[in-house]
C-alpha cells in the first residue's frame, strides 16, 4: 500500500500557509523549521518602520484542527499541552506563541504562552503531565495582532547598550 496524504497533513500545511501570510502582511518574515518537530514549528523575525531587522524573535508552535474545543464559560478555545513542551516554552527567554488554526473557518487564534502563565499564576511544578490552556475567542491571528505583539514585546525588551 502506498503512503497517503491525510486530512491532518493537509490542514497542517494550510495552517502554516495561513500563519505565514499574516506575518508577511505585517511586513515580517516567518522561518518554518524542518519537518522534525523539536518543540517549535517556526519563528518570526520583525523589522522596524525603516525596514531594519530587530533583535526580537518570536517562536511559534502551530496546531491545526477541524474541530476546535470550546469552553463557553471562559469564551475560549481549549487545548491540552504537555508539561514537557511547557518546560521548553516557558523557560525560553524569547517570546513563544501558541497558534491554533481552525481549518473549517480558515482562521487562527494565538496565545502568548509566557504572559498567559505569568498572568494566571500557573506553576510548572504543580503540573503533572498535561495542562489545559484557554485561547480567547477574540485573539485572532492577523496582521494587526502581529504588529501589536511586536510593539508590546519591543517595549518590554527595549534596552540601550
Reduce the DSSP state of residue 150 to 3 states and report it.
helix
pLDDT (tens digit, 9 = 90+) per residue, 129-146?
A: 998 999 999 999 999 999
pTM check: above 0.85: yes
pLDDT (tens digit, 9 = 90+) per residue, 3-35?
A: 999 999 999 999 999 999 999 999 999 999 976
Q: What is the dihedral of CA 21, 27, 32, 33, to 10 degrees?
A: -160
What is the per-residue pLDDT for 121?
Answer: 77
Question: Does the pLDDT of residue 125 top 50, yes or no?
Answer: yes
- Listed residue (97, 105, 94) closest to 133, CA to CA: 97
Reduce the DSSP state of residue 42 to 3 states and report it.
strand
Residue 158: pLDDT band (50, 70, 90) is low
Spatial separation of the C-alpha atoms in residues 104 and 67, rounded to whole Å: 8
Amino acid at each position: 500500500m502506498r503512503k497517503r496524504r491525510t486530512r491532518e497533513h493537509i490542514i497542517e500545511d494550510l495552517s502554516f500557509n495561513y500563519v505565514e501570510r499574516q506575518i508577511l502582511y505585517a511586513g515580517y518574515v516567518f522561518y518554518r523549521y524542518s519537518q522534525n518537530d523539536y518543540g517549535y514549528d517556526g519563528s518570526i523575525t520583525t523589522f522596524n518602520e525603516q525596514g531594519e531587522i530587530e533583535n526580537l524573535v518570536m517562536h511559534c508552535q502551530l496546531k491545526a484542527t477541524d474541530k476546535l474545543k470550546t469552553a463557553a464559560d471562559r469564551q475560549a478555545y481549549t487545548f491540552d499541552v504537555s508539561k514537557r513542551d511547557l518546560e521548553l516554552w516557558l523557560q525560553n527567554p524569547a517570546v513563544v506563541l501558541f497558534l491554533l488554526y481552525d481549518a473549517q473557518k480558515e482562521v487562527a487564534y494565538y496565545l502568548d504562552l509566557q504572559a498567559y502563565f505569568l498572568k494566571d499564576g500557573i506553576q510548572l511544578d504543580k503540573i503533572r503531565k498535561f495542562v489545559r490552556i484557554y485561547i480567547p475567542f477574540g485573539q485572532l491571528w492577523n496582521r494587526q495582532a502581529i504588529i501589536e505583539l511586536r510593539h508590546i514585546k519591543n517595549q518590554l525588551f527595549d534596552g540601550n547598550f
